[in-house]
Amino acid sequence: MLATPRRAGAKDRAGSGIDLADLRARQVTHADFVSFDHILAMDRQNLDSLLFVCPKMHKHKLKLFLEYAPGLKTAEVPDPYYGGEKGFDKVFDMWKRPRWVFGFCAREPD
């Protein structure tokens, strides 16, 4: 089952030009542990859930998303739905750092 982003999360964030309207989420499958080099969790609760179902030989692929965000003083991405519009903006700002590490943007963030 696919989940669609809520309206507040789908708008163009901070003038980034990134449209999240077509974004879909799904549950991780056992095949994902084999197919992907990295599987990133937004918080420790999700990471623990992934570690529980992940085959031992693939556990090294599991990390917290913000482990790839140099300079942030938090390890977990907060749930943006509890912060209203500002919550989404805060999470989007956090998301910009790791995406550079994985090559999702053309230049290093400021």
**What's 99's DSSP letter?**
H
56 C-beta neighbours (distance < 10 Å), count: 7
Residue 70: per-residue pLDDT: 73
Residue 49: per-residue pLDDT: 97
Over residues 49-106, the pLDDT tens digits come to 999 999 999 999 999 988 887 777 888 988 877 777 787 778 777 777 665 555 554 4
Residue 59: per-residue pLDDT: 97
Over residues 2-27, the pLDDT tens digits come to 444 555 454 545 456 666 667 677 89
pTM over 0.85: no
d(CA 10, CA 101): 23
Residues forming a β-bridge with 39: 62
Domains of the chain in sequence order: 7-101 (3.40.50.2300)
Map residue 40 onto helix, strand or coil: strand
